[in-house]
Structure formats: C-alpha cells, structure tokens
Amino acid sequence: MADKKATLKVDGVEETLELPVYEGTLGPDVVDVRSLTGKGLFTYDPGFVSTAATESKITYIDGGKGVLLHRGYPIEQLAEKSDYLETCYLLLHGELPTAEEKETFLSTIKNHTMVHEQLSHFFNGFRRDAHPMAIMCGVVGALSAFYHDSLDIHDDHHRVVSAHRLIAKMPTLAAMVYKYSIGQPFMFPRNDLDYAENFLHMMFNTPCEEKKISPVLAKAMDRIFLLHADHEQNASTSTVRLAGSTGANPFACIASGIAALWGPAHGGANEAVLNMLEEIGDESNIDTFIAKAKDKEDPFRLMGFGHRVYKNFDPRAKVMKQTCDEVLAELGMENDPLLKIAMKLEKIATEDEYFVKRGLYPNVDFYSGIILKAIGIPTEMFTVIFATGRTPGWIAHWNEMISSDYRIGRPRQLYTGHEKRDYPAK
C-alpha cells in the first residue's frame, strides 16, 4: 500500500492525476508513475537517474553521506570483520551465515572451482592479444552450454546451484584468461587454499614452480573482491536484471553484465588510474598535471578522484587505503616511480582546497589500481578482476528479481524522428 499520494496536473489532461508515493526503509520516497501510460503519458529520464526500476532489499547507498550498506551492514564493518565469501553468502541469502552454514558454503564453492576440460579449448579460438574482457564475455556465456542441469530459472535449487557455480568458477576463468594471454599453461585450482589465495595461485604459479602465497597479498585480494561485491542498481547490475527479465539463463545474464562493466565509464576506472599515472610519468610533472586538472578548458582529468555517487567520500576508500599501505610495505615498493606519483597525488588531493572543496578525494578505484599494479597484475586484467568480485552482487539481484513478480524490461522513448511519410514514387 502507498504511504502517501502525489498529484500531477498536466496541460491537456482534464483531470488532476493522483499518484501513489511509497516510502522505503531508507532513502528518498518513490512516486509510482505506472498509471501514466493509461493517460497517454510517459516519464522522461535519460540514464534512469531519477527512476526506481525495481524494489530491492540487497544494497543501500547514500552518496551524500558516504554510506554503503549490504543487507543493512556497513561496508566498513564487513571489510574489517568479514571476508569475501561470507559477504557473498550475505548478499545471496539476506543474513550472515552461522558457523555451520559458512563451512558448508565454503566447501561448496571450493568443490565447484574446476571448469569442464572442454571449456579450455574455447580459448584457442581467441587471439593471444585479445582483450581479457572479450574472452571473459565469451567463456562465461559459454558455461550455459555445459550446465543444462541448472538452467530452469524458476526452480529455486537450480538458481542456487548456478550461483555457486558462477562464484566458484569466475576466478578460475579469470586466471585462465591471464595465462592464455602470456602463453603459460593453465593452473588447476587447489581445494586446500582459500578463495583469494587460490586466485593468486592460478594467476602466478606454474607447473614448474609453486610459490607460497603471501597472506598479506591474499588478504588484499580478498578485500578487493569484497569491496566490489555489489553497488546497488549500477549500469552492469541493471543490464543483468534487464537481460534476466527476458527469461535468459543466468550465465548469459552474467555475461551481459561483464559486457556492460567493460565500458571505461563503469568498470575501467582503476585501469584508467594506471594509465593516468603513466601519462604523468614523473614526480616532476605532477604540478603541471594538477594545473591541467584545475583548468576547465583542459580535457585532462584526475582519474580515481571523486565519485559520481559519493559526494563527500567513498566509504570503501578508507579501507582500501589501509590495504594499499600494507601491500606496498609487504612488497617493499614504496619507491616504485608510478606508486610514488600516486602517493603524492593522494596527498595533494586530500590537502589542496580546490580538490577538498569539490569532494575530489581518492576513491576505491584509485587504491585498488595501485594494489593490483603492485601485486603484478597487468592493467588490462583489472576489469576482469572487478567482474569476478561483482559476480555475487549480479547474481543476488538477478535471483531477487526472478523470485518476485517481475515483468520484462521495456523502457519507453521520446520519439523525435520523422512523422509518417510515403515512400517516393519512382
């Protein structure tokens, strides 16, 4: 039931329209405009920035206050006290697991990390220099060709099995993409390692030599996954939901999310940070580029500073900064030229009145880019890792939609083309 009513008077419409207004647990009220179509009216909202296309219980963001909640839990608390797979369980099931539930969940994920051997042959169809995201789109979508036993989207058990398979296999596929690009053999996952350790093992070990994974780096990787696990109704999540509304299988839906995430305006932000640092090139050039960033007429922008959603600070950035410091200390890379540029930019952005006044603080992409670079992950792999971390959020939203009374997505348009006209006589 609606909590309030809104009235709308439109020129040319004789009656005043009464529209229901709904109150969420948190956030702005929502005006229900569905009845407008019966009056021959649509709303106009490019980018859907003022439109709530769904009702959700998963994630809440207040950008003005720097708040990010997963199922009600602040992201800072989850990053400090939880881990990635426990957060996956929370997103999927709505509550934190008991000790027994967590152990069962961890065991299930570990036992689904391998991919069908035939899938490895798919990689041979790609060029070695193909962008990793191009390959990820293909191989994730291809999973539906191997798992016919869990494609009934209206079966609760099938959806759970698909969720487990996707979460478990994404790091395996991501590592395979990297190994393929450098011509090394694929590494099998190991069930004795935890999620992040296993990913780093498959990325950097070889059949000739298996090195012990640093606990500091594994913790950093786990935290990167956790801090990217979900971010409400963003472009890729909305893409997953729109694809899912057609009844498409979950693997195809997640592949569509990967495609949307590939866009530089969305998932490529931490890659853009490293490209910016390389463009600056040397600490002696920082003042020049800071001046360019302040010049409205100059196209140069500081990447990794400020955020479209968070207007004061990104709540994930503080946690990621701590992790960044730990990783650089562990690897002894405090004097790396690019990282020294990054640290000086961070200092300027947090002290310079120009940046402070405009809320151009370092965000999660700034620090995650530095961490991934320090670990040795190439920049073209950054978005693949983002997709791996975001998978449980995509699945949770897809599952929430399929479990509800949903309709196929069908946005409207404001048509500004030609009126009806006749084909010219010849």
Residues 6 or more apart from 177 whose CB is under 8 A from it? 123, 132, 135, 136, 139, 381, 384
Which of 172, 159, 161 is closest to 114 using CA atoms?
Answer: 172
Residues 6 or more apart from 147 whose CB is under 8 A from it? 162, 165, 251
3-state secondary structure of 200: helix
- Token pair 């990621």: residue: 320
Positive or negative torsion for Cα 335, 201, 108, 133: positive
β-strand 17-22 against 59-62: which pairing, if any?
Answer: unpaired
On whether the CB atoms of residues 22 and 29 are closer than 8 A, the answer is yes
Exactly one of 194, 266, 325, 352 is catalytic; name it: 266
- What is the identity of the amino acid at 402? I
Please list the residues that pair with 19 across neighbouring strands: 6
Which of 47, 58, 4, 1 is closest to 28 using CA atoms?
Answer: 4
Exactly one of 230, 307, 314, 397 is catalytic; name it: 307
Distances (CA, A) of 401 to 237, 244, 335, 397: 11, 8, 48, 6
Exactly one of 83, 222, 314, 365 is catalytic; name it: 365
Distances (CA, A) of 68 to 54, 218, 282, 411: 18, 24, 35, 28
Q: How many CB atoms lie within 10 A of CB 32?
A: 14
Alpha helices in 296-361 (DSSP H): 315-331, 337-351, 353-357
Please list the residues that pair with 70 across neighbouring strands: 59, 73
- The answer to whether residue 164 is catalytic is no
Strands of the 17-22 sheet, one edge to the other: 4-8, 17-22, 30-31
- The answer to whether residue 201 is catalytic is no
Catalytic residues: 266, 307, 365
